[in-house]
C-alpha cells in the first residue's frame, strides 16, 4: 500500500498535470481569439438595391413586363461564373435574356477542391452549384449546367461574365475558361462582362487597343492590360461590352440584348 507521502505526491502531480492542460487550452483559446474576428458583414440585398434613391430606372427595368418575348429566340448564351459571383449581376441579366427568349446556360470551372492542408471546408453541393454573394456576404447557391471543359465556341452566340470580386479571381485562374474566352474573341462573337469581370478578359490578353469600362477599383488593371478605359455605365467596342457596377445592370443587359438581336 502506498504511504501517505506517495499518495500526496501523486495527487500533487495529478493536479499539476490538469492545471497544465487547462493552461494549455487557455493559451490555445487566447490565440484563437486573436486570430479570429467578429462576424459583422456589409450586404447589398436585391430589394435594398432596387429601392435605393436614384435607382428608379433599375427598378422599372425589372418590374416592367417584357412585351416581346421572342427578341432573342434561338440565341444561346453561356454565363461563365464561379464561387463569389455578385448575385444581381448574374440573376438580373439571366432573367432578362430568358424573358427575351434566349437559351442561357450557367457554366462553371470544373470542380477542383482545395488540398486538405488549406483548411477549406466546402459543402457537398459545391460540386454542382456555385455560391452567390451580395457585396461581401455569401447569400445562396445556383446550380450550373455545364463546366468550362465541356463547352466549345460553336455552342453559343455570346458569353456573359458577371462580377463580384471573388468570382473573376476564380475564373481567371482556370485554363479552360481563359482558352474559351480567347477562342470566343477570335470568332468575333459577343463577350459581355460587368463590374470586376473585365479582369478575366485582361488575363485572357484580349484588351489591347479596346475601349471598355469596369468597376472603379480595377480600371487601372484594365489600362495596364492595354485597354482605353472610360467611366460610363456601359461601353460597346466591337464584340466586347462592359459595365461598372450592379447599378448598371439594366443598361448592360439592354446593350447585350440589342447587340445580339442585330446579329
- Rounded Cα gap, residues 255 and 122, in angstroms: 36
Position of cell 484588351? Answer: 207
Choosing from 27, 40, 196, 245, which is the catalytic residue?
196
CB 101 within 8 A of CB 55: no
Taking Cα atoms as reference points, which of 212, 208, 210 lies closest to residue 194?
212
Q: Which of 27, 40, 129, 195 is catalytic?
A: 195
89, burial (CB in 10 Å: exposed 0-12, middle 13-18, buried 19+) = buried
Q: How far is CA 181 from CA 192, 195, 238, in A?
A: 11, 17, 15
Q: Which residues contact 62 (CB under 8 A, 6 or more apart)?
A: 50, 92, 95, 250
Residue 245 annotated as catalytic:
no
Output helix, strand, coil percentages for the chain, rounded to the nearest 5. 45, 20, 35
Active-site residue numbers? Answer: 195-196
Amino acid at each position: 500500500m502506498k504511504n501517505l507521502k506517495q499518495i500526496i505526491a501523486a495527487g500533487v502531480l495529478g493536479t499539476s498535470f490538469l492545471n497544465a492542460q487547462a493552461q494549455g487550452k487557455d493559451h490555445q483559446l487566447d490565440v484563437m481569439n486573436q486570430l479570429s474576428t467578429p462576424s459583422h458583414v456589409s450586404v447589398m440585398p436585391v430589394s435594398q438595391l432596387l429601392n435605393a434613391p436614384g435607382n428608379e430606372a433599375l427598378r422599372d427595368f425589372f418590374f416592367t413586363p417584357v412585351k416581346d418575348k421572342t427578341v432573342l429566340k434561338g440565341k444561346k448564351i453561356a454565363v461563365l461564373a464561379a464561387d463569389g459571383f455578385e448575385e444581381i449581376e448574374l440573376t438580373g441579366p439571366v432573367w432578362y435574356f430568358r424573358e427575351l427568349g434566349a437559351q442561357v446556360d450557367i457554366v462553371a470551372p470544373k470542380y477542383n477542391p482545395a488540398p486538405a492542408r488549406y483548411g477549406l471546408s466546402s459543402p457537398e453541393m459545391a460540386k454542382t452549384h456555385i455560391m452567390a454573394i451580395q457585396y461581401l456576404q455569401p447569400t445562396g447557391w445556383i446550380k450550373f449546367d455545364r463546366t468550362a471543359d465541356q463547352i466549345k465556341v460553336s455552342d453559343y452566340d455570346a458569353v456573359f461574365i458577371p462580377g463580384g470580386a471573388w468570382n473573376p479571381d476564380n475564373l481567371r485562374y482556370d485554363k479552360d475558361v481563359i482558352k474559351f474566352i480567347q477562342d470566343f474573341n477570335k470568332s468575333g462573337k459577343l463577350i459581355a462582362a460587368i463590374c470586376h469581370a473585365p479582369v478575366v478578359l485582361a488575363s485572357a490578353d484580349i484588351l489591347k487597343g479596346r475601349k471598355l469600362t469596369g468597376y472603379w477599383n480595377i480600371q487601372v488593371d484594365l489600362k495596364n492590360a492595354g485597354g482605353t478605359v472610360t467611366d460610363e455605365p456601359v461601353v460597346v467596342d466591337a464584340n466586347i461590352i462592359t459595365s461598372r457596377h450592379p447599378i448598371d445592370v439594366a443598361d448592360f443587359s439592354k446593350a447585350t440584348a440589342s447587340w445580339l438581336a442585330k446579329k
